Amino acid sequence: MNLHEHDGDERKVALVTGAAGGIGGAIARVLAEHGTAVAAVDRDASRLETTVEKLRGEGLTVTGHPTDVTSAAEVTATVDRVEREIGPIDHLVNAAGVLRAGEALALSLDDWSEMFAVNATGVFLVSRAVVERMVTRRRGAVVTVASNAVAGARHGMSAYAASKAAATLFTKCLALETARHGIRCNLVAPGSTDTPMLRALWKGDDAVRAALDGRPEQFRVGIPLGRLADPADVADAVHFLLSDRAAHITMHDLTVDGGAALGA
């Protein structure tokens, strides 16, 4: 018996990449709290184990699957294992991401390559492996976690924004091509969110204040709602787009940034 059966009813199965991160972990939590069996994927095996043990300790149905999303072979093996041991994947969340800030002319090729490998190629590889199975079942929903950095030029964010823009347009094209099979693909675009990835970029004690108030010298506005996002804010948006409440929504980009992109 696999985990797709739950108390006599069909339990949804979700695969979440980047599940050891702040946003990915919050997504895994909210989906599991709503009764989904979550296959948590991340390349950091140690952090993933910690995250999974915490969630399982709270009685949630979460399994860990260390995987490098930039490896086609690892992705295929993980998807095969999840479908064999847990059940057909109903929902996919592409939340794996890396950020290397820096001005365009100062970026190294390694920084550029890693961001595209994880943020764009990873989305392609995981989506392809999962969605081709969804097509045969004529059901499924995908959410890719993009970024509000795609909304316009951002100082020090050229490679990150470009990689997220690639993931954004790929997801929308995938949505168009698979709509006839009953599959929905949407995006959630967070702004500044209180995660370890964001904190790693902070320099000085005024980092939070600068995020909230903006940086005129970088032509960057602040956050109109006056606070950083919590990972749960993003996770709730993802949960909504995966749910039946969003049954007629596809190719949509839901921005969760407190107004920082000024509605762009």
Whole-Å CA distances, 41 to 14, 121, 198, 216: 11, 16, 20, 39
5-256 topology per CATH:
Rossmann fold (3.40.50)
Average pLDDT across the chain, whole number: 93
Residue with tokens 């920082």: 260
Residue 232 confidence (pLDDT) above 60: yes
Q: Backbone dihedral region of 18: left (phi > 0), alpha (psi from -120 to 50 degrees) or beta? A: left
The confidence score (pLDDT) of residue 9 equals 46
Catalytic residue among 112, 124, 160, 170: 160
**Percent of the chain at pLDDT exceeding 90:** 84
pLDDT band at 8 (very low <50, low <70, confident <90, very high): very low
pTM value surpassing 0.85: yes
Length of the chain equals 264
* Sequence ranges of the domains in the chain: 5-256
The confidence score (pLDDT) of residue 5 equals 47
The confidence score (pLDDT) of residue 35 equals 98
What would the pLDDT profile of 49-65 be if each residue is shown by its tens digit?
999 999 999 999 999 99
The confidence score (pLDDT) of residue 97 equals 97
Residue with tokens 């979440």: 16
Handedness of CA 83, 139, 171, 37 (dihedral sign): negative
In sequence order, what are the beta bridge partners of 5? Answer: 10
Mean pLDDT of 190-205: 77
| 160 included as an active-site residue | yes
Q: Are the C-beta atoms of residues 4 and 90 closer than 8 Å to each other? A: no
Closest CA to 53 of 45, 44, 63, 67: 63
The confidence score (pLDDT) of residue 204 equals 61
What would the pLDDT profile of 106-155 be if each residue is shown by its tens digit?
999 999 999 999 999 999 999 999 999 999 999 999 999 999 999 999 99
Residue with tokens 């007629």: 248
Residue 36 confidence (pLDDT) above 70: yes
